[in-house]
Amino acid sequence: MNIFQIVAAFFGLLMMYIVSIHAKRRTFSSLESTLWLSLWGLFVVLAIFPGLLQGIADTLHFSRVFDLLVVGAFMVLVYLTFNNYIAHKKLRTKLEDFVRKAAIKNAKEVNR
């Protein structure tokens, strides 16, 4: 086990701890908590035993498991960035509509 695996495993355990704190504060529902704990648990297992992905890496013609993980992580980051952009755009539109309606309402009240 190299230092990267140790750091990654501790990071996964830290994230599991953070998820459990948010679950106790009721920030997450029980389904969300279970999903996140499972995801971070899988992360810890794959950090400790990266050979479990060797078959997938060979099937997809990656020379190393790390290359597979980097490509997968990049794809996830691109998806999350795009999803965040769409959510931001929707929120901005709602905020603009709210401000426009409030300004019209205030203008009508001032003119009375």
pLDDT of residue 39: 95
Beta-carbon contacts of residue 43 (< 8 Å; ≥ 6 apart): 8, 12, 15
Residues 30-64 pLDDT 10s: 999 999 999 999 999 999 999 999 999 999 999 99
State what percent of residues in the chain have pLDDT above 90: 88
Is the pTM value of this prediction over 0.85? no
The two structure tokens encoding residue 52? 């479990």
pLDDT of residue 111: 81
Residues 64-85 pLDDT 10s: 998 999 999 999 999 999 999 9
Question: Is residue 112 predicted with pLDDT exceeding 80?
Answer: no
Average pLDDT over residues 81-109: 95
* Half-sphere exposure of residue 98: CA atoms within 13 angstroms, side-chain side: 6
> Which bin fits 78, alpha (ψ -120 to 50), beta or left (φ > 0)?
alpha
- Tell me which DSSP letter residue 61 carries: T
Reference 16, options 35, 33, 40; nearest CA is 40
pLDDT of residue 33: 95
The two structure tokens encoding residue 85? 């952009």
Where residue 110 falls among pLDDT bands split at 50, 70, 90? confident
